[in-house]
């Protein structure tokens, strides 16, 4: 079946409607731009933000004296010498203003004595992490930004838009994008004077992960195919205490983090022994262990045959009274009871789970990418967190970078009279998204995604070797051959609405190139640093205090290394 | 006790006549209806259309369907070792199979 493409024209196109994209849309409209905000899923509901149950770091200094430079020092220390200092500085300096703006918009930060209260997340030198009770931070941020947008007629929103490629204009600048409306199957062209990528990270590449279905690295793939560089792609953060067992429905698998902030808790191996001191950090009932060390400690215990029954570690709050648990988590305790979990009587099992991606699109402090007309915001931006992200910096990064990207994109749009999508790039993208001569819809795309997730989890997890990474590259190549160059025809024949298989074909097209970028970068980095641990190169080496960049040229990923910028004083 | 859940699913696109299809999926205590539907797509029929995003967290509210005539989130409704009837939301415009138009009007593409 064939469609006439729907043509949209706007000042600023924002791709991705989590906190970064929504904040960018709001800020761009404040800068005088008309905005078109699209999401592959539903607006404000499909990204990582809505699942972030934890905290947001910002040096507000309301309870204890604090300043952005202290937040910056902790961010840099967590990054194992590899943070982009310019981006880290922007993150910490702009964080308080964004947190206060969200407060004014009614997000409902937890308060004590009439001021915003903060908790101390691991890696922070003082209480700096704000939150919304009860473990409702991300949903509250999302809802607040949606509400602010609802009052704004200059922001046009569209759910269920799958963007497949960025397109350059006649002057060579990024001039918009081509996609399709999943709800109807119709191709869509979007001409934009500025485009903001706010598509989040890549955790969907892994079997067990803590983010939404649509975090398959779309923005990385869009940027690569448009000619931009990615940085630090080997650094995938694993959250050490993702829920493993017993089966728990209706809760985010990283929900144990806020429990640990408030109540401490004890991490135990399969023999009910505390074990983290063997790996260089004694917890002593407090939650101080950095993420990369905790992940390492749990993996090593499991490897030594001392894991919990499902292959992780136990997390115990049995020392807490029912009253203390209720006071700290209110209705969440009832949701646990519905899953037959009584924390006063039993430990739960936890294990590392793919959580966040430090790498991403190269951007400067104005959130400009290397490509004129293209901006980036949020997790899709690479470099800020170096080799390991500090707890609490993800939502901070979404709102700070989103605000900055929206401002920059609006300013850029003002300098441009009108954008036309260049014919050649437009034709190629429309040809792909149309239903011309695609294969019969007999690929099991759902099973292919499961296979890719298994490869990435088993061979490109937190502990890597050259042999594992080579196997991964071979497996990824096989999947790419199966996928082919063209999407399948619509399975429903005349009915092109919500063809999930076809959507997954476009997802896999992105996921496979991003998986290759991660794996090749990991293979080339012959040292261990932060979230990237090579069992065959176990030392952190001074010479490797360098960023690696990836570009796509003629269908081939090209890797290069660049020295880290000198630490600013 | 049966080790299977039987999912009877109302299928079809907008404006098409509805058809019923029945699938057996493996059952383990504690699983959600969404677990069963995802197993079904991977192992039996990837053409089944459904909305889901956060998978497990009751956060995105995208997987709203009807189970035996009651509106539920598939990610929190428990899978059970019996016949379970799954239908799209009756008060929303049908797009395909279990997918309906659930975005608020101001957040839809039009």
Record: contact B96-A492, CB cut-off 8 A: yes
How confident is residue A87, by pLDDT bands cut at 50, 70 and 90?
A: very high
Look at residue B19 and tell me whether its pLDDT is greater than 80.
yes
Q: What is the mean pLDDT of residues A315-335?
A: 92
Tokens, residue A147: 């509400």
Residue of B nearest to A146 (CA): B107
User: A103-124 in b/e burial notation, b at 16+ Cβ within 10 A?
Assistant: beeebbbbeeeeebbbbbbbbb
Query: How close A53 comes to chain B (CA, Å)?
Result: 10
Look at residue B55 and tell me whether its pLDDT is greater than 90.
no
What stretch of H or E contains A473? helix A466-483
Look at residue B14 and tell me whether its pLDDT is greater than 50.
yes
C-alpha span between A501 and B97 (Å, rounded): 13
Record: contact A495-B103, CB cut-off 8 A: no
**What tens digit of pLDDT does each residue of A504-536 get?**
999 999 999 999 999 999 999 999 999 999 999
Pick from A212, A339, A500: which is nearest to B53 by CB?
A212
The CATH architecture of the domain made up of A1-235+358-569 is 3-Layer(bba) Sandwich (3.50)
C-alpha span between A448 and A505 (Å, rounded): 9
Record: contact A247-B16, CB cut-off 8 A: no
Task: Name residues 361-420 of chain A within 8 A of B (Cβ).
Answer: none
The CATH code of the domain at A240-352 is: 3.90.700.10
- At residue A285, the pLDDT reads 59
- At residue A286, the pLDDT reads 64
Q: What is the mean pLDDT of chain A?
A: 92
How confident is residue A493, by pLDDT bands cut at 50, 70 and 90?
A: low
Record: contact B62-A45, CB cut-off 8 A: yes
- At residue A419, the pLDDT reads 79
How confident is residue A28, by pLDDT bands cut at 50, 70 and 90?
A: very high
More reliable by pLDDT, A229 or A261: A229
Lowest mean pLDDT among A12-16, A424-428, A477-481: A424-428
Q: Give me the domains of chain B, ranges plus CATH numbers.
A: 4-101 (3.10.20.30)
Radius of gyration of chain A (CA): 23
Q: How many CB pairs under 8 A join A and B?
A: 138
C-alpha span between A17 and A26 (Å, rounded): 11
B26, β-bridge pairs: B4
Lowest mean pLDDT among B49-58, B62-71, B92-101: B49-58
Look at residue B101 and tell me whether its pLDDT is greater than 90.
yes
What stretch of H or E contains A294? helix A291-303
Give DSSP secondary structure letters for A112-164.
ETTEE--B--TT-SSS-EE--TTT-HHHHHHHHHHHHHHT-TTEEEESSEEEE
How confident is residue A484, by pLDDT bands cut at 50, 70 and 90?
A: very high
ipTM topping 0.90: yes
How confident is residue A260, by pLDDT bands cut at 50, 70 and 90?
A: confident
CB-CB neighbors (< 8 A) of B96 in chain A: 492, 495, 497-499
Lowest mean pLDDT among A372-376, A378-382, A490-494, A555-559: A490-494
Look at residue B10 and tell me whether its pLDDT is greater than 90.
yes
Query: How close A40 comes to chain B (CA, Å)?
Result: 10
- At residue A47, the pLDDT reads 84
**What tens digit of pLDDT does each residue of A531-557 get?**
999 999 999 999 999 999 999 999 899
- At residue A567, the pLDDT reads 34
Is the Cβ of A250 closer than 8 Å to some Cβ of chain B?
yes
Q: What is the mean pLDDT of residues A79-108?
A: 97
Q: Considering chain B, what percentage of its residues have pLDDT values greater than 90?
A: 84
Q: Could you confirm whether A525 is annotated as catalytic?
A: no
Query: How close B22 comes to chain A (CA, Å)?
Result: 19
Radius of gyration of chain B (CA): 14
Task: Name residues 195-214 of chain A within 8 A of B (Cβ).
Answer: 212-214
Look at residue A211 and tell me whether its pLDDT is greater than 80.
no
- At residue A277, the pLDDT reads 84
Pick from B13, B30, B75: which is nearest to A247 by CB?
B30
Residue of A nearest to B97 (CA): A498
- At residue A99, the pLDDT reads 98
Pick from B30, B49, B53: which is nearest to A498 by CB?
B49
Is the Cβ of A285 closer than 8 Å to some Cβ of chain B?
no
More reliable by pLDDT, A160 or B60: A160
Look at residue A196 and tell me whether its pLDDT is greater than 60.
yes
**What tens digit of pLDDT does each residue of A274-294 get?**
998 888 666 555 666 777 788
Look at residue A563 and tell me whether its pLDDT is greater than 50.
no
- At residue A279, the pLDDT reads 80
Break chain A into its structural domains and give their ranges: 1-235+358-569, 240-352
Of A34, A204, A208, A291, catalytic: A291
CB-CB neighbors (< 8 A) of A491 in chain B: 47
């Amino acid at each position: 079946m064939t469609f006439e493409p729907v043509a949209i024209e706007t000042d600023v196109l924002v791709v991705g409607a989590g906190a970064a994209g929504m904040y960018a849309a709001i800020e761009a409209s404040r800068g005088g731009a008309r905005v078109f905000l699209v999401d592959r899923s539903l607006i404000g509901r499909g990204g990582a933000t809505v699942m972030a149950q934890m905290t947001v770091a910002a040096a507000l200094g309301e309870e204890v004296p604090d300043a952005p430079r202290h937040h910056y020092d902790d961010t840099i220390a967590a990054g194992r010498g590899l943070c982009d200092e310019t981006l880290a500085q922007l993150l910490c300096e702009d964080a308080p203003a964004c947190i206060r703006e969200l407060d004014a918009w009614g997000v409902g930060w937890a308060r004590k004595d009439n001021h915003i209260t903060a908790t101390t997340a691991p890696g922070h030198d003082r209480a700096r992490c704000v939150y919304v009770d009860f473990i409702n931070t991300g949903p509250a941020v999302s809802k607040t930004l949606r509400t602010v947008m609802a009052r704004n007629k200059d922001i046009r929103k569209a759910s269920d838009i799958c963007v497949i490629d960025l397109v350059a204009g006649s002057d060579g600048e990024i001039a918009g994008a081509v996609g399709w409306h999943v709800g109807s199957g119709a191709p869509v062209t979007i001409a934009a004077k500025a485009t903001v990528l706010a598509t989040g990270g890549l955790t969907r590449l892994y079997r067990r992960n803590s983010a939404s279905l649509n975090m398959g690295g779309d923005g990385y793939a869009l940027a690569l195919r448009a000619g931009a560089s990615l940085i630090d792609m080997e650094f995938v953060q694993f959250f050490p205490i993702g829920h493993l067992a017993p089966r728990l429905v209706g809760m985010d698998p990283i929900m144990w983090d806020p429990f640990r902030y408030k109540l401490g808790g004890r991490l135990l191996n399969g023999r009910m022994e505390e074990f983290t001191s063997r790996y260089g950090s004694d917890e002593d009932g407090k939650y101080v262990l950095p993420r990369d060390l905790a992940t390492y400690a749990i993996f090593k215990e499991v490897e030594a045959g001392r894991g919990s029954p499902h292959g992780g570690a136990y997390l115990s709050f049995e020392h807490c009274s029912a009253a203390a648990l209720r006071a700290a988590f209110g209705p969440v305790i009832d949701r646990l009871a519905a899953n037959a979990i009584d924390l006063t009587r039993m430990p739960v099992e936890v294990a590392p789970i793919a959580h966040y991606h430090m790498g991403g699109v190269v951007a400067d402090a104005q959130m400009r990418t290397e490509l004129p007309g293209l901006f980036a915001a949020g997790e899709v931006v690479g470099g800020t967190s170096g080799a390991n992200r500090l707890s609490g910096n993800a939502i901070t990064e979404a709102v700070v970078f989103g605000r900055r990207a929206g401002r920059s994109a609006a300013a850029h749009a003002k300098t441009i009279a009108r954008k036309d999508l260049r014919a050649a790039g437009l034709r190629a993208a429309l040809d792909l998204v149309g239903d011309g001569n695609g294969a019969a819809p007999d690929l099991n795309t759902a099973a292919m995604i499961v296979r890719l997730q298994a490869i990435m989890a088993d061979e490109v997890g937190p502990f890597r070797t050259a042999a594992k990474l080579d196997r991964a590259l071979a497996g990824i190549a096989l999947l790419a051959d199966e996928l082919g160059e063209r999407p399948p025809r619509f399975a429903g024949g005349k009915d092109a609405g919500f063809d999930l298989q076809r959507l997954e074909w476009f997802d896999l097209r992105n996921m496979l190139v991003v998986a290759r970028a991660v794996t090749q970068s990991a293979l080339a980095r012959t040292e261990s640093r932060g979230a990237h641990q090579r069992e065959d190169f176990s030392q952190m080496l001074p010479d490797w205090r360098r960023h690696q960049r990836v570009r796509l040229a003629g269908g081939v990923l090209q890797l290069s290394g660049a020295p880290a910028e000198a630490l600013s004083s | 006790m049966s080790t299977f859940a039987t999912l009877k699913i109302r299928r079809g696109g907008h404006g098409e006549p509805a058809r019923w299809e029945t699938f057996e999926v493996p059952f383990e205590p504690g699983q959600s209806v969404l677990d069963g539907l995802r197993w079904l797509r991977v192992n039996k029929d990837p053409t089944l259309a459904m909305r889901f995003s956060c998978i497990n967290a009751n956060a995105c509210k995208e997987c709203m369907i009807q189970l035996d005539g009651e509106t539920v989130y598939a990610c929190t409704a428990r899978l059970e070792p019996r016949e379970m009837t799954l239908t799209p939301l009756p008060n929303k415009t049908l797009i395909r199979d279990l997918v309906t138009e659930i975005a608020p009007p101001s957040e839809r593409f039009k």
